[in-house]
Structure formats: C-alpha cells, structure tokens
Amino acid sequence: MLRFLTAGESHGKSLTIIVEGVPANLPLTEEYIGRQLARRQVGYGRGGRMQIETDYAEILSGVRHGLTLGSPIGLLIENRDFVTGRGPDDVPWTEEMSIAPSDVPFEPITSLRPGHADTPGIAKYMQADARNILERSSARETAARVATGAVARRFLEEFRVEIHGHVVCIGGVHARPSESIDWSLLEETPYHRENPHGSKVAAVRCADPVAAEQMIAAIDAAREAGDSVGGIVEVVATGAPIGLGSHVQWDRKLTTRLAAAVMGINAVKGVEFGAGFSQSDLRGSQVHDVVKPVGEWERAPDGGWVRPWSRRTNNSGGLEGGMTTGEPVVVRAILKPIATLMKGLETVDLTTGEFVERAHFERSDICVVPAAAVVVEAVVALVLADAMLEKFGGDHIEETRRNWRAYMASAGPRG
Ligand SMILES: Cc1cc2nc3c(=O)[nH]c(=O)nc-3n(C[C@H](O)[C@H](O)[C@H](O)COP(=O)(O)O)c2cc1C
C-alpha cells in the first residue's frame, strides 16, 4: 500500500511529506521530483507567488545513493515566501506565521471570502482570524501532492505507465478534440504577458493553438475585470495493465479511488471518466467499447508474445467494473473559478457580523487550470501506483517487476 501525509501552511516555513510503501531499489533523485514541481509553477494566469517560489523538494530520508530503501520517504519543500516576504519592500512572514508566540501586532482577516474555506472553517475551528483557516486551505499544499506524485510517477515508469495532462477548457473556451497530442509541445517555454515569447500552447497547456489564444484572452479579460476563470483538464494514463482495482467492494473500485483523489484537489468540482456525462445522451450501442476478437500479438514484458485484450473505442476511459481495461485511463476534472477576487465579493465581517463591501484579497491567481492539470496527473499517478502495488506487491522493485511480468504474460485471451 502506498500512503502519504502532507503538512504545512501556505506562508509557513515549509511543506513536509512522508510517503510510505515505495519498494526498495527504485532510482529516485531530487532533480526528478524538481522537474515535476517546476511544471506546476508555470501557466498563464498564475499570481505573483509563483515568481517568488522556486519549488524544490529535498529528500530527507528513505533514499540512499540514489535508490529507495523501502523505508518511509521524507520530503521537505521550503516556502521561500516565509523568509523573503511578499515583495522586495515587504516584510517576511516569519513573525505573522511564527510558531512561537509573537509580540508583533498583525491584522486578523475578518472579511470572509465566499467560495473559499474561510466561513465554514472559522465556524468549525472556532477561530477569530480567517488566516488560521486559509493558510492550510490554500492550494500551496498541492506542491506537496505534486512532489509525492513524482515519486509515484517514477515508480510507474518502471512499468511503462505514462501520465500526461492537458487543458480542454478555460473560461468557456473549449479546445477542439484531438486524436493525438504532442505532449512535448505542451512543455515548451510558456508565453508570459510581460515577456510574450515562447508558446501560447504551453502557457495554458492546451493542445489546440487557436483555443489556447482565446483562453489567454479570456484570462486577460478576467484580470481586467478583477475576476477569475475556471475550466476543465484531462489526464491520460497509458500502459496501466488490465485488472487494477476490483469490482468486489465499492471502496476497492479504481473509479472510486480516482474520483476521491481528484475531487480532493482544491477547486475541483466534478470528475468524469472517458465519455463521462455525455453518455446520458447516447444509446448503449453507441457507448460500450467492443472487444476486438483477436488482439495483435505483442511483446510481453518477459520477452514472450501475448495477445492482449483490446477495444475498438475507449468511451469507458479505460475503466469497467472499477477495474482498468488495459486501454488508456482518461480522467477529466472541472475546476471552479477561484474565490479570491481582486474586485472582492460582498460579504460580512467575522467580528461584527456587519455587511462588508469587498471580501479579503491577497495576492492570488486568476486562473489555475494549467497548473491543476499537473496536480491531477500527480494524484492519478498516486492512485495507479497504489493499485499496482496492491496487485503486484513486492518489497524490492525486482520482486514487483517479476510479479507484473508473470501476470502480463497470462492476462490475454484464455487458451
Ligand atoms: C493550483 C491551484 C492554485 C490555486 N490558487 C488559488 C488562489 O490563488 N486563490 C484562491 O482563492 N484559490 C486558489 N485555489 C483554489 C482554492 O485553494 C480552493 O478553492 C479553496 O481551498 C476552497 O476549496 P474548494 O474550492 O475545494 O471548495 C487554487 C487551486 C489550485 C488547484
């Protein structure tokens, strides 16, 4: 079983993570994790925070000489903001977020932001300062999930499982569906408003260049209006073997586990697999993925030959009965427009209960959809890695590989 816990406040000292269940002898480096963290930081519509931070996860334990030990892996991501402050002339957060009691006076946040965790959080935890809620509900924490997801991704690579994400909608602008996506194009230098060189496609992580252009315009328009925009991301995992997850109990279904992990990402308000919600308009004969009678012969991981099951279509998104079908796993997540608005919505004051014209604003993103694609990739990697370990086990990566090879050689048609 792969499990992890994260800790850390948005403007606190650091984010810390413990990941447990990774088999021994998996090659893992800080540079590898850092590359995934860097991908989360880019994207048109992000706020000033991303210019301050250069996320880097230090590996504290569980790895020796570049190989995992099978023991818990400890990770630490420093918040640069904690010591550098909000900008060149600004004070650092060391006093306001001090662990020890502090004599320095600071303004509590009392004008609650509709759409954020402020209002239910202060009620539930009986707080008089919404900062005590927003520090943890901030999506800064998703950096921790991306770092942890990088460990899972490294593990999955050993089994030829690849995970890619892209943006299919921002602010009502929908990308045209594409048969195949050039994933490397989405990783090119992103275009920035201040420095408009590089790729607009990469800036919004959208494979359709025309839609990418319009998405950037939609983000600009929201910025001008002091508002925010949401959207939809799609993540595709290829190479997952048939039979991960299980139909036998609701909480063992991979659909349950994937949906919970994706819904757990800040601002995600819906999840669908494959043809998803559009299936409500179709007949069964238009939806279900016909099994090809005789699969092409393919090289098995053990060097032999297999005829894997394969499908004419993949409307199920690679999931039937809560198990993988062997086709690509396709997950989509819809993100709401973020809640911290420059123009501020009407609200109430926490202390007086009186009307306030504009809710609290602090440096915020305008659109987080491109970054969210990387976060969804990370949690999909975590769920798939967990399901692989559940199926194939192994305390050493070779043991896992041996079990995977043996299974793959027998997973095609009987006979
Ligand atoms: C990558 C990412 C960055 C985010 N940045 C912001 C932000 O700058 N401002 C904001 O109000 N919400 C931001 N959010 C969303 C909030 O964290 C989220 O809406 C809030 O925690 C309330 O939770 P809920 O929307 O899941 O109900 C971000 C979400 C993601 C995935």
pTM: 0.96
Ligand 1 near 372 CB (within 6 A): yes
Q: With 70 as the cut, is the pLDDT of residue 100 above it?
A: yes
Lowest-confidence segment of 24-38, 256-270, 359-373 by average pLDDT: 359-373
Answer yes or no: are the C-beta atoms of 316 and 273 closer than 8 Å: yes
CA–CA dist 182, 373 (Å, integer): 16
Query: What is the pLDDT at residue 187?
Result: 94
For residue 88, pLDDT beyond 70: no
Sequence length of the chain is 415
Is pLDDT above 90 for 106?
A: no
If one residue of 138, 146, 170, 334 were mutated to test the ligand 1 pocket, choosing by the most ligand atoms within 8 A of its CB, it would be: 138
Asked if residue 238 has pLDDT above 80, the reply is: yes
* pLDDT, tens digit, 9 for 90 and up, residues 10-42: 999 999 999 999 999 999 999 999 999 999 999
Q: Is the beta carbon of 140 within 6 A of some atom in ligand 1?
A: no
Q: What is the pLDDT of residue 165?
A: 98
Cα gap 14→147, rounded to integer Å: 13
Which pLDDT value is given to residue 79? 92
pLDDT at 86 over 60: no
Residue range 303-362, pLDDT digits in tens: 777 777 889 999 999 999 999 999 999 999 999 999 999 999 999 999 999 999 999 888
| CA–CA separation, 76 and 147 (whole Å) | 9
Extract the tokens encoding 195. 């420095």
Average pLDDT, the chain: 93
Q: DSSP string covering 37-92, please?
A: HHHHH--TT--THHHH----EEEEESEETTEE-SSPEEEEEE-HHHHH-SSTTSPP
Q: Which atom of ligand 1 is nearest to the CA of 138?
A: 17
Domain spanning 3-408, CATH class? alpha beta
Q: Ligand 1 in contact with 375 (CB < 6 A)? A: yes
Q: How far is the CA of 138 from the centre of ligand 1 (A)?
A: 6
pLDDT by residue (tens digit) across 126-171? 999 999 999 999 999 999 999 999 999 999 999 999 999 999 999 9
pLDDT at 110: 94
Taking CA atoms, 179 is separated from 208, 247, 285, in Å, by 11, 30, 22
Distance 251 CA to ligand 1 centre (A): 27
For residue 28, the model assigns a pLDDT of 98
Residue 66 has pLDDT above 70, yes or no: yes
CA distances from 298 to 305, 314, 415 (A): 6, 19, 16
Cα separation, 339 vs 320, whole angstroms: 36
Q: Is 41's C-beta closer than 6 angstroms to any atom of ligand 1?
A: no
